[in-house]
Amino acid sequence: MIALRNTNEIQKISAACKISAQALKVAEEYMKPGISTKEIDTAIYKFIVSTGAKPNFLGYGGFPGSACISVNNVVIHGIPSKSVILKQGDIVSVDVGAVYDGFHGDNAYTFTVGEISDEAKQLLKVTEECLYKGIEQATVGNRIGDISHAVQAHAESFGYGVVRKFVGHGVGKKLHEEPEVPNFGKAGRGVRLAAGMVLAIEPMINLVGEDVNVSSDGWTVTTASGSLSAHFEHSIVITDQGPKILTKA
């Protein structure tokens, strides 16, 4: 059952999304050599609770952080750690959400530490473009497959690997709701999109190959090839006037 949110619910989801987006701005301040991913997580935690919201990742399935912080070849679900220290040239994906007044927000951004390689720059640019190409397709009467196909086609036109194992999702009263929003698929297939659907669209794109491994900690997802991976995410609502991004600071 896919929820269609009313105006009041969308306002509440927007409030949670705004805090989620502001949490990414907090993270951005810490993208410096010598900073540990645990320090970033602590700053995010303090910010989110200061707003009266709660970090919705903390304790989710036992996850120990307020944000997933995934460096270089880590695709998603990196556990914040005192022993993961940022260095010049790293790319750092931060995925964070807040729950406020019973509703959830979710977003992600891949940051850079100092100067990064040209191939990393292009991966980040293209992955963010994939997100916006997906969002463009989130219109009334289109289907989930239109979003999926737009993301996949753009990434693969650069020879990149689209992660299959993890997908976007509905977001609202829970962090993860129906429908699934894959980053691969056929245009014109899948659930028909309607006004009031709130989706977290989140391309996860590998420089080389689509395969990923889950580490023995049960969380950390890495590229099978060892290559870099990028992740960008917005929570959006579908309206009769088109998609509206809710995760804006």
| Residue 158 C-beta-side C-alpha neighbours within 13 Å | 22
Q: How many whole angstroms separate alpha carbon 222 and alpha carbon 166? A: 12
Name which of 200 and 207 has its Cβ closer to Mg ion.
200
- Judged by CB, which is closer to Mg ion: 35, or 206? 206
Q: How far is the CB of 172 from Mg ion (least distance, A)?
A: 12
Partners of 76 in beta bridges: 221
**Residue 26 near Mg ion by CB under 5 A:** no
> Number of H helices and number of E strands within the chain?
4, 17
Residue 235 to residue 20: CA distance in whole angstroms: 10
> What's the helix, strand, coil split of the chain in %, to 5?
30, 25, 45
By CB under 5 A, what part of segment 96-135 binds Mg ion? 106
Applying CB under 5 A, the span of 12-20, 125-133, 137-145, 198-206 interacting with Mg ion comes to 198-206
Instruction: Considering only the stretches 53-61, 74-82, 127-135, 201-209, report the one whose residues sit in contact with Mg ion under the rule CB under 5 A.
Output: 201-209
Residue 210 sits in the site that holds Mg ion (CB under 5 A) = no
211 Cα distance to chain centroid = 18
Kindly state the smallest distance separating residue 171's Cβ from Mg ion, in Å. Answer: 7
Q: How far is the CB of 201 from Mg ion (least distance, A)?
A: 9
- Rounded-to-integer distance, Cα 53 and Cα 9, Å: 16
Among 151, 200, 201, 238, binds Mg ion (CB under 5 A): 200
Q: Which residues of the chain form contacts with Mg ion (CB under 5 A)?
A: 106, 200, 202
